[in-house]
Amino acid sequence: MPPTSRLRLTFLGTGTSQGVPIIGCDCPVCRSADFHDKRLRTSALITSGEEHIVIDAGPDFRQQMLTAGISRLQAILLTHEHVDHIFGLDDIRAFNYIQKRAVDIYAEPRVQTAIRRIYDYVFAADRYPGVPRMELHDLTDQPFTIGPTRFTPIRCYHHKLPILGFRTGDLTYLTDINAVPPHEMKKLEGTRILVVNALRREKHLSHFNLEEAIAFARKVGPAQTYLTHISHALGCHREVQASLPPGIFLAWDGLSLEL
């Protein structure tokens, strides 16, 4: 058998629902010239050989695909149905044209309902020529595979909204969360690289703040933790990174990790 391709994680976006800089904001982070402080909406790319899988497709999806140089896409995994995670799905049309097929979208049934409502023209009986082509697949709590890559869904909570994180191999990717049930924590055992959201320093209703994200990382015990879904309220990248414990890093747009 040929050797298994190593996985690569690329952070396509590490910002909040408004991105960074925020329109009209004059704070030091939004005025920063450091590219680490320029954050598109949160999304990630999993690459295995020639296969590309994206986690979440927000409003910056088109720009992210162009920046990453992606011309073929195997699938999109959706954590939940909020605008900053699904409002780029119309731009899969380019992949429909290149690949001559629908793009596989993996989401929970509730998230699929939102997609069918928002993108009703995609699923209309009499569809306008050229609309995106999506093939929706149900996500449950059971592991699934896309090509050679196996994923384990992890139930998390975004305040009261149940959402999903994903584990593949030694990587666990969690965003927009502020709670993981104890029985789901077992799925994180042995994680070597953890990605988790850290919105800001102040507490938030539906996201880990920095202190909570660090405490969560210590509970999981990975070798490395990368913080994502970062708002301008957290502070400038250079200053925040200098204050973090060993093994914990602020992710930034374009950062790639070999898994």
Amino acid at 180: V
Give the chain's domains with CATH numbers. Answer: 7-252 (3.60.15.10)
CA distance 86 to 237: 26
pLDDT value at position 166?
98
Per-residue pLDDT for 3 more than 50? no
DSSP 130: T
First vs last C-alpha separation in the chain: 21
HSE of 177, CA atoms in CB hemisphere, 13 A? 25
CA distance 251 to 244: 12
Q: List, in sequence order, every residue forming a beta bridge with 258; answer none if it has no partner.
A: 8
1 band by pLDDT with thresholds 50, 70 and 90: very low
pLDDT value at position 5?
67
Average pLDDT, the chain: 96
pTM: 0.96
Residue 22, both tokens: 């925020």
pLDDT value at position 6?
85
Give the tens place of pLDDT for each residue, 16-75. Answer: 999 999 999 999 999 999 999 999 999 999 999 889 999 999 999 999 999 999 999 999
Residue 218, both tokens: 């210590």
Amino acid at 128: Y
Mean pLDDT of 9-17: 98
CA distance 30 to 217: 27
4 band by pLDDT with thresholds 50, 70 and 90: low
Radius of gyration of the chain (CA): 18
Per-residue pLDDT for 131 more than 70? yes
Sequence-ordered list of residues with C-beta below 8 angstroms from that of 160, at least 6 positions apart, any chain: none
CA distance 76 to 57: 7
Per-residue pLDDT for 204 more than 50? yes
